[in-house]
Amino acid sequence: MSIDDCAAVAYSILVRLQSALDEADLPTLTDLFDDEAVLIGTGSHNHGRQAVDAYLGAVLEQPPFRWEWREVVVFHESPGALGFVAFGEIVDSQAQQEERAPFRLTLFAVERPAGWVVQQFHGSIPSAF
């Protein structure tokens, strides 16, 4: 894949994740993760289908949020695999005054017959916030 194609795939994964969050669509959200995915979030780490699904369900029970990505950098590309980092902000617009915090993400995706799925997700808010 060209670097532009890699970036397009990376952004498409981010858009699919945000769309599932926006719709509070747990089945679609969980389908975006591989059965053996590792998910490291701000609050905990999870491995495997049951643990990841439980974490994603808990995320959807929280107030809605969105990510605003300003930079995506592909660090790995091979047939059927893509690794990238994304930098931006996590935004909570449910509060009386919109709240923002820096957010960074490392994501490794693999291509399956049904499309790209997340195999490793590590998202965090820097500790200074």
- Residue at token pair 């060209």: 2
**Cβ 87 vs Cβ 71: under 8 Å:** yes
pLDDT at residue 115 is higher than 60: yes
Q: Which of 47, 44, 24 lies closest to 36 in space, CA to CA?
A: 47
- CA dihedral angle for residue 1, residue 37, residue 125, residue 88, rounded to 10 degrees: 20
**Cβ 98 vs Cβ 89: under 8 Å:** no
**Cβ 94 vs Cβ 80: under 8 Å:** no
Q: Grade residue 127 by pLDDT with cuts at 50, 70 and 90.
A: low
Q: Which residue has the higher pLDDT, 127 or 52?
A: 52
pLDDT in tens, 33-61: 999 999 998 778 899 999 999 999 999 99
Q: Is 76 exposed, middle or buried (0-12, 13-18, 19+ CB in 10 A)?
A: exposed
**Cβ 125 vs Cβ 102: under 8 Å:** yes
Q: Which residue has the higher pLDDT, 42 or 124?
A: 124
| The predicted structure's pLDDT at residue 94 | 79
State which fold the 3-124 domain adopts: Nuclear Transport Factor 2; Chain: A, (3.10.450)
Q: Grade residue 123 by pLDDT with cuts at 50, 70 and 90.
A: very high
| The predicted structure's pLDDT at residue 8 | 95
Q: Grade residue 129 by pLDDT with cuts at 50, 70 and 90.
A: very low
Domain residue spans in the chain? Answer: 3-124
- Compute the distance between CA of residue 79 and CA of residue 100 in angstroms, rounded to an integer: 36
pLDDT in tens, 59-103: 999 888 999 999 999 999 999 999 999 999 999 877 778 889 999
